[in-house]
């Protein structure tokens, strides 16, 4: 009798059960990885994107930022992102993630850190609009999604998880975040479309004892021009394509990103995990 996808998943979870007995079971470690159910997609997303314990985890992303005008891509710079996260369990299967993201841009030709940029469309040299690093907290309901929320700057955040897919020992889940602020708002329009696909090994995600399984990320975004680019009403989009990996220690982050962090944000580099300590905020 052939094995179905669901029976294979149940076998893999059963095989991991003896190790799971070593650690208390929470709502985040129960259930099966059925990608066709809300509960399954939620668990797949949480384990690939974050963790089911409260250790500090790390993501790095590297790629290229482009301008997209008349279906033609123009490279702007290389992007190097480091993200730190820590999960906090909430009642009823919900959870919060404290999140710190630090980005650096380098020249596409010589790799030098950029503070200014010659806009190829306007021919103006402008200051790079880096956002100051700060810890933000994102709340996820038991179904994994977040209801649309509007922040203090009038930006509405909408998140969606799924679909998910399992093929043999590989597992994927999509997770998209859309940000919008109307053009009539005092601070101007915002339109961000972050499109993520997380992936990993089915056996790792199915193992309740593996609370922060290895994972990778394919990321792209298609956004409106940020105001600091001084594009005015020029049509087009602010586009990027990146790859990333989740790691469990700071030393596993790319050496080039760690060097830039020490150069530009030595206070964070001295104790990156400490930035996520709630008692310190």
**How far is residue 109's CA from residue 223's CA, in Å, rounded to a whole number?**
24
Closest residue by Cα to residue 209 from 10, 38, 27, 13: 13
Calculate what percentage of the chain has a pLDDT beyond 90. Answer: 67
Least confident of 101-115, 144-158, 204-218: 144-158
Which long-range contacts link 49-52 to residues 24+ away (Cβ below 8 Å)? Answer: 49/175, 49/196, 49/198, 49/215, 49/246, 50/85, 50/87, 50/97, 50/212, 51/85, 51/87, 51/211, 51/212, 52/26, 52/28, 52/87, 52/208, 52/211, 52/212
Q: Give the residue, 182 or 95, on which the prediction is more confident.
A: 95
What pTM, to 2 d.p., does this model score?
Answer: 0.85
24 membership: H or E segment, kind and range: none
**How far is residue 189's CA from residue 154's CA, in Å, rounded to a whole number?**
10
- 205-262 residue pLDDT tens: 999 999 999 999 999 999 999 989 999 999 999 999 999 999 999 999 999 999 999 9
Closest residue by Cα to residue 18 from 212, 213, 207, 214: 207
Q: What is the pLDDT of residue 146?
A: 63
Task: Indicate the average pLDDT of the chain.
Answer: 86
Contact criterion met (CB below 8 Å) for 139 and 96: yes
Q: How do the domains of the chain map onto residue ranges? A: 5-144+155-280
Contact criterion met (CB below 8 Å) for 43 and 31: yes
Structural tokens at position 27? 């709502």
Q: In which band, very low, low, confident or very high, does the pLDDT at 274 lie, cut at 50, 70 and 90? A: very high
163 upstream amide cis, omega within 30 of 0: yes
- 19-72 residue pLDDT tens: 333 333 344 444 478 999 988 999 999 999 999 999 999 999 999 999 999 999
**What's the distance, Cα to Cα, between the start and end of the chain in Å?**
58
Q: What is the pLDDT of residue 198?
A: 98
Question: What's the burial of 43, exposed, middle or buried (CB within 10 Å: 0-12/13-18/19+)?
Answer: buried
Alpha-carbon radius of gyration of the chain? 20
Q: What is the pLDDT of residue 21?
A: 32
């Amino acid at each position: 009798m052939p094995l179905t996808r669901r029976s294979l998943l149940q076998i893999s979870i059963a095989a991991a059960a003896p190790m799971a007995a070593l650690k208390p079971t929470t709502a985040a470690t129960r259930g099966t990885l059925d990608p066709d159910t809300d509960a399954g997609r939620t668990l797949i997303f949480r384990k690939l994107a974050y963790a089911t314990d409260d250790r500090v985890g790390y993501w790095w992303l590297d790629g290229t930022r482009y301008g997209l005008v008349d279906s033609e891509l123009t490279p702007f710079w290389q992007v190097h992102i480091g993200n730190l996260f820590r999960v906090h369990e909430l009642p009823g299967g919900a959870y919060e993630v404290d999140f710190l993201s630090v980005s650096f841009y380098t020249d596409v030709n010589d790799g030098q850190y950029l503070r200014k940029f010659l806009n190829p469309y306007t021919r103006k040299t402008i200051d790079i609009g880096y956002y100051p690093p700060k810890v933000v907290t994102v709340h996820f309901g038991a179904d994994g999604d977040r209801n649309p929320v509007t922040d203090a700057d009038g930006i509405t955040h909408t998140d969606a998880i799924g679909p998910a897919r399992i093929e043999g020992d590989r597992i994927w889940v999509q997770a998209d975040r859309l940000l919008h602020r109307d053009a009539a708002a005092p601070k101007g329009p915002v339109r961000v479309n972050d499109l993520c696909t997380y992936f990993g090994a089915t056996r790792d995600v199915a193992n309740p004892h593996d609370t922060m399984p290895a994972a990778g990320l394919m990321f792209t975004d298609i956004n409106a021009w940020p105001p600091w680019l001084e594009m005015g009403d020029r049509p087009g989009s602010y586009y990027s394509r990146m790859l990333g990996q989740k790691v469990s220690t700071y030393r596993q982050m790319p050496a080039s990103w760690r060097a830039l962090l020490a150069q530009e944000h030595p206070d964070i580099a001295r104790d990156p995990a400490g930035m996520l300590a709630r008692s310190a905020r």
